[in-house]
Amino acid sequence: MATLGRPSLLVLLLGLLSVTADDSLVIMPSAQQRSVFEGESLFVSCSSQGKNVQRILWTGPEGNQITDYKGSVSYRDLPRIHVEEGAAAHNGVDLIFDNILRRDRGNYTCSANVDGKEVSKSFELFVDKEIDFLDTPTIQYLEEGFDSELICDITGDPEPTVTWSFEGKKISYGDKYAKVSDTSNNLIVSNVTLKDAGAYACKAVQVSPRITEMKDLSIDVKVHHKPLWNDDKTKAYSYVDGSVNLTCEVKAEPEANFTWTKDNGVIYPSDSAQIFNDNNTSILQLKVNDSRMFGDYLCIAQNKLGTLERVIILQQGEKPAVPTAKVTVEGVDRLELSIDAKNHPEMPIVGYRVQYKEAGEDWSRAQSTYFKKASIYVLENLKNDTPYVLRAASKNAAGFSDYSVEVTKRTEKIISSASTSASFSISSCVALLLFLLVSASLL
């Protein structure tokens, strides 16, 4: 039994000595593997609590000693990877990494002679590459009626896994959607329609024993398509000496170009015609100088994928009657109006435009409010105790009437609580005096 015990005791003592040797040199952080992303910074300390520490140093993956100390060279010439004196002074050395590159990965070893023994400790540096969507466009286009491709260009190490979503719902591959290839993250959308436009997201996930990382990129997807009508308006009305807007509004991608014609002649801006184009809408504004301006106007909307045409018929209507307007209620900051106008049987009044200004101001500075036809019309947010001048014009399908006779009214004053109290006090005193006089006469 004693013979068997001696080797066991020897193994135990050797183990203790080994642990002591290992513990005589400490790396912090203590992990044997460190994982960082490219471009990050890192420092690792190496120190010893031994009584006699000699020649503590760091070596890189190829066994080369890292000798550049902060202070031994100018700050400008200090390499990305260098060493600095640690918190334990001559018993410690810090290894510093600035702007880590992929080529910096590998094993780094701290070694020293501690109390007469050669000891060392190492850690392995892994340099991962963050998910990067590179030049993936955040606005992309599909082609109506064709199979089209959405781009999601990604790099990363470990290589990311990519999924797509549309309007917040994960896309499953099948008849409608497919991957371009096993080596591409792009998405094929089959038989594109206008319903395929919207918010897409390309989501990338990195998973490894060392890291987990997730990023997504939102992509606004539009569908190239020929112009489509936004409404079905084909008639408009006006009267001689009136004005009218003929509106042509479409959906189109790319944006449509517009042309207006009448009697086979292209209409260009002039004294009687102005054209305003914006965001797939064209407005032809006409001043109707004579009856020859009534008739058919052709609107042409065109982009590279197709052309759309519509005839809008401008018909002669009845100019609406001039209304009568009066103020029925004056408030501190509001005026209530009553407005009425005679209806034409085939072209009824649909609303009123009211202009108002402070007395003494020019009508060019007047404010304007449009009201749909109702029983009461209210001007709000006015100044108190201020005279206002107002006038009204009636509207039917052919346009606006001339303005009514001007009406002037003053808004009410704001009565302060102090004035009210004083008035109440005076009234109370008068009442009390009368009461005393009556009482005295009765006596």
Chain segment 62-96, per-residue pLDDT in tens: 999 988 776 666 677 788 899 988 776 667 899 99
Query: Which CA distances in Å does 308 have to 261, 263, 275?
Result: 14, 18, 18
Q: How many CA atoms lie within 13 A of 117 on its CB side?
A: 15
Q: 133-226 belongs to which homologous superfamily?
A: Immunoglobulins (2.60.40.10)
Q: What is the pLDDT of residue 244?
A: 96
CATH code of the domain occupying 324-410: 2.60.40.10
pLDDT band of 99, cuts 50, 70, 90? very high
Please state, in angstroms and rounded to a whole number, the distance separating the CA atoms of residues 396 and 413: 37
- Please classify residue 394 by burial: count the beta carbons closer than 10 Å to its beta carbon, then call 0-12 exposed, 13-18 middle and 19+ buried: buried
Under CATH, what is the fold of the domain 25-129?
Immunoglobulin-like (2.60.40)
Q: What is the mean pLDDT of residues 337-354?
A: 93
Dihedral sign from CA coordinates of 26, 28, 31, 33: negative
Pairwise pLDDT comparison (317 vs 30), residue with the higher score: 317
Pairwise pLDDT comparison (200 vs 26), residue with the higher score: 200
Portions of the chain given CATH number 2.60.40.10: 25-129, 133-226, 230-316, 324-410
Q: What is the pLDDT of residue 284?
A: 98
Q: What is the pLDDT of residue 346?
A: 86
For 181, residues 6+ apart whose C-beta sits below 8 A from its C-beta are none
Please state, in angstroms and rounded to a whole number, the distance separating the CA atoms of residues 394 and 321: 7
Dihedral sign from CA coordinates of 143, 144, 145, 149: positive
Q: What is the mean pLDDT of residues 386-392?
A: 97
Please state, in angstroms and rounded to a whole number, the distance separating the CA atoms of residues 409 and 391: 11
Mean pLDDT, the chain, rounded, equals: 88
Q: What is the mean pLDDT of residues 128-141?
A: 95
Dihedral sign from CA coordinates of 315, 316, 321, 323: positive
Is the pLDDT at 27 greater than 70? The verdict is: yes
Q: Which two tokens stand for residue 274?
A: 């102005």
Query: Which CA distances in Å does 429 have to 221, 421, 422, 425, 436?
Result: 79, 12, 11, 6, 11
Q: What is the pLDDT of residue 90?
A: 64
The whole-model pTM stands at 0.65
Under CATH, what is the fold of the domain 230-316?
Immunoglobulin-like (2.60.40)
3 state SS of 292? helix
